[in-house]
């Protein structure tokens, strides 16, 4: 019984670390969106510099997971849980990379006014942050319905991406000089769309941790 109690405590600490990492990543997205809208060069540089914090958090959680697997040799549901955390932190780390990618493009674009008011891209940022929050919450609370909601919400972000593309293609048609900036803005929107994909991946790992099935394969 004592081993079980200790293991549950360690799993609880793992969940806390996951929530903390998600918080750091969400702040990176919020800041990346803010830096983009306000063309804030200093903030964009700060986001790029802080990517190491996210990478370090991933390594820290990863080593806890590996230690748990080696020391406790968990089976079935416990092993699924720890395995899911290993997958989830990889996706969170990639989200951090995309916040950096967006900020690097923000630096490139900082010299000129935008060719159009950014409306759909900030909506994408807001939606993706919501998806990330809910995907981690679904894992911690073992909430299958919430995980499925996140997977469904991905369509909304895809729809916003299509709107961004359509708007910018129209601006290029009107004036070819808009081309370079339009392409960079489409790339930024694409990174936000990828962030939503990572949130969806996390939700799919939540489904796996709870059911033992993953959309791509059936294991454990």
Residue 203: give its domain's CATH number: 1.20.58.220
Question: Residue 7, Cβ neighbours under 10 Å: how many?
Answer: 16
Q: Report pLDDT for 6.
A: 87
Question: Residue 190, Cβ neighbours under 10 Å: how many?
Answer: 17
Q: Report pLDDT for 220.
A: 45
Spatial separation of the C-alpha atoms in residues 211 and 70, rounded to whole Å: 23
pLDDT digit string, tens, across residues 66-106: 999 999 888 888 999 999 999 999 999 999 999 999 999 99
Q: Report pLDDT for 75.
A: 87
Q: Report pLDDT for 202.
A: 98
Q: Report pLDDT for 4.
A: 81
The domain tally of the chain equals: 1
Q: Report pLDDT for 212.
A: 87
Q: Report pLDDT for 217.
A: 60
Report the predicted TM-score, pTM, of the whole model to 2 decimal places: 0.94
Tell me the residue range of the domain where 211 lies.
2-218
Question: Residue 24, Cβ neighbours under 10 Å: how many?
Answer: 15
- Residues of the chain with pLDDT below 70 are 1, 216-220
Q: Which are the contacts of 189, defined by CB distance < 8 A and separation ≥ 6?
A: 120, 121, 124, 160, 161, 164, 165
């Amino acid at each position: 019984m004592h081993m079980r109690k200790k293991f549950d405590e360690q799993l609880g600490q793992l969940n806390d670390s996951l929530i903390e990492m998600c918080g750091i990543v969400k702040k990176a997205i919020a800041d990346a969106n803010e830096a983009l809208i306000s063309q804030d060069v200093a903030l964009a540089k700060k986001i790029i510099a802080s990517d190491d914090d996210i990478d370090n958090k991933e390594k820290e959680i990863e080593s806890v997971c590996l230690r748990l697997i080696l020391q406790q040799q968990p089976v079935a549901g416990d092993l699924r849980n720890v395995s899911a955390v290993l997958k989830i932190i990889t996706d969170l780390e990639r989200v951090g990379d995309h916040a950096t990618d967006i900020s690097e493009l923000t630096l490139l674009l900082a010299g000129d006014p935008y060719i159009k008011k950014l409306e759909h891209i900030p909506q994408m940022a807001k939606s993706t942050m919501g998806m990330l929050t809910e995907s981690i919450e679904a894992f911690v609370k073992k909430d299958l319905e919430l995980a499925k909601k996140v997977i469904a919400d991905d369509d909304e972000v895809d729809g916003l991406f299509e709107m961004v593309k359509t708007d910018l293609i129209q601006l290029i048609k009107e004036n070819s000089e808009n081309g370079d900036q339009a392409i960079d803005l489409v790339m930024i929107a694409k990174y936000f769309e990828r962030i939503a994909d990572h949130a969806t991946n996390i939700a799919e790992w939540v489904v796996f941790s709870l059911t033992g099935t993953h959309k791509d394969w059936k294991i454990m």
